[in-house]
Structure 1
């Protein structure tokens, strides 16, 4: 059984630190963390800890269903400092979790495409 959303968010903060993956702002009383699915639920992304990172509410809401690599480019265009290494690490961890657990027929091709695009940028293993 998976931990609840609050526990997954707390785990992401411990794993990744206290900053938004997309804009780099530190989480404070004014900037609250939210659970961000890297592979969106509408694209078949699971609510697993491996698919979730902490993002501020502004970035989470603005991203919508945009792909992580597309949103990464948009963040750069806006002058923000996204954590590209964290993105590559978490997407790689999700790919390993899917390989271990199986399933996720809809998420796998989407994730593979995102990882290929990151590799072209020189970011993914």
Structure 2
């Protein structure tokens, strides 16, 4: 009974630690999601700015000053980089969500084992009495 009780306590400690890790991972996912949402909002603003710049450039006569053309190209490159970053952030969020689900499954397994051990310990204590 003592060994079972010790094992139950050890598993309880592991389950508590695992729950803490899941909570931390969930918080990181929420933070990443908030950052991603803010980035998407900023990306939309950047896209509107680029669209406005493209519209303005389309209205400028041919033979644009090189400086204006260079600025437009720099903005276009920045938009492409931001789009790549958004894609990467989305992939990271998906990966973290998968890890959290995996940890939740592990916690469920540990909780089930703890219940089994609690029942076995209770039955053994009754038999000892």
* TM-score normalised by L of structure 2: 0.25
Q: Larger Cα Rg: Structure 1 or Structure 2?
A: 2
**Which of the pair is proportionally richer in helix?**
2
| TM-score (norm. length: structure 1) | 0.25
- Higher RCO structure (Cα 8 Å, ≥6 apart): 2
